[in-house]
Homo-oligomer: A and B are copies of this chain.
């Protein structure tokens, strides 16, 4: 892709449409998105220079016309809130395709662990950049991460202009030295992220799971999160073995164990929850915990039970969608995740009415915003402007059904043409300014990483 040629193709369009000029990707300016479909009707969206949606309506354009620095005209495209990826390990995109379709033990012990042991902070940085690029290209404007070298993840996300809660991932496996090191690392990480003074990047703490983090480690994480006022990110009941081991070790199921250790808070996001039982769903609701559903990962990794969405909804749990890392998926496309969630829920719980398109779309957007406490997830005055524009790549005859119906049953990430986060344009007409450089860096890092792994 030739950056200059593409810029020169896009900018005249912007200029012609509004009689203005300038680089819509640069800095934050006020922005008018004119004549797009919002909630079923054609409207304008005016975003002020602070990244806040100032007006939405058929006359928002007229009212704001004089003052918008930039205008995007995309008549008839669909404007939606940006997607929120509630569970991922962004840097793992560097290992995508390196170890697919293998049995669990071989996958972890022969492939993933040796590769992760060789990953450098620089690898985590460029892997995260690659993932942010893919998220931007598929309409995701916020993500919730857990990995090591979390400072690098935070730094990359900040540079890409995307919203993120980055959890400092750790496991102590019962070794006091490792826990001590995690404490120090987490404290430094929270300070570092706070020093960014970026409203887009939040720190969080990520005790990996009950089978990798000791009772002391879990208790410390709960205390640390409360003291710092940050969120907790944990894997919960992904596999059956986690449940049976927990029962024999602690005499209780995993969610009850986490409650006992003080890890379940209204700022906790539990990923997977495939094997939770009904009382655990009630327990999660009582503690205000949010759940990240990762249907593609659960299928690819053959966990063989589907997160019980009907029980969680009945209990009142807020459930969003995640992709998991790129070795377990292998993409970051939340439109696909919506479809998989709906199909897998219908199939597994034998109910064709489960998770219709509007509900799946709400999971991919609003539920994620609620879980992360973000001022986004809706296109209305006062919300921060995390907005995507969608132009269907497949024929849409009328009556077209609903936009959510198209997206969930037919759409894919490539249908997203424009991605705006906090009022800043990150992609327009599928063009992301830094794409070539990011791919080049990731290619180099992935090649070198795999060379280092296979040489030993």
Contact = CB atoms under 8 A, between A and B. Distances in A.
A244 interface: no
Contacts of A349: 302
The count of identical subunits is 2
Interface in A255-313: 296, 298-304
A211 interface: no
Q: Which 4 A-B pairs have the closest CB atoms?
A: A97-B401, A412-B412, A299-B343, A393-B414
A299 B97 CA distance: 26
B394 A413 contact: yes
Contacts of A336: 412
B304 A399 contact: no
A336 to B, nearest CB: 8
Contact of A97 (B96, B137, B399, B435): B399
Given A100-B357, A353-B101, A304 B347 contact: yes
Nearest to A432: B395
A224 interface: no
A185 interface: no
A212 interface: no
Nearest to A97: B401
A412 B409 contact: no
16 contacts: A97-B399, A100-B357, A100-B405, A100-B409, A296-B343, A299-B344, A300-B352, A301-B352, A302-B349, A304-B347, A304-B348, A331-B409, A333-B410, A397-B442, A399-B446, A412-B412
A198 interface: no
Interface stretch (A43-51, A102-110, A229-237): A102-110
Contacts of A351: 302
Interface residues of A, number: 70
A394 B134 contact: yes
A395 B134 contact: yes
B439 A409 contact: no
A398 interface: yes
Given A347-B302, A352-B301, A399 B102 contact: no
A330 interface: yes
A81 to B, nearest CB: 22
A196 interface: no
A244 to B, nearest CB: 15
A340 interface: yes
A354 B300 CA distance: 10
Contact of A400 (B97, B329, B398): B97
| Residue with the greatest number of chain B CB neighbours at <10 A, chosen from A333, A396, A410 | A410
B401 A98 contact: yes
A374 interface: no
A429 interface: no
Contacts of A425: none
Contacts of A226: none
B397 A130 contact: yes
Contact of A394 (B101, B304, B414): B414
Contacts of A430: 393
A346 interface: yes
A246 to B, nearest CB: 20
Contacts of A104: 352
Contacts of A133: 395
Interface string A333-369: 1001000101110111111111111000000000000
B137 A299 contact: no
Nearest to A410: B331
B397 A439 contact: yes
A413 B339 CA distance: 15
A414 B344 CA distance: 23
Contact of A353 (B102, B303, B355): B102
A298 B303 CA distance: 19
Contact of A409 (B138, B330, B344, B348): B330
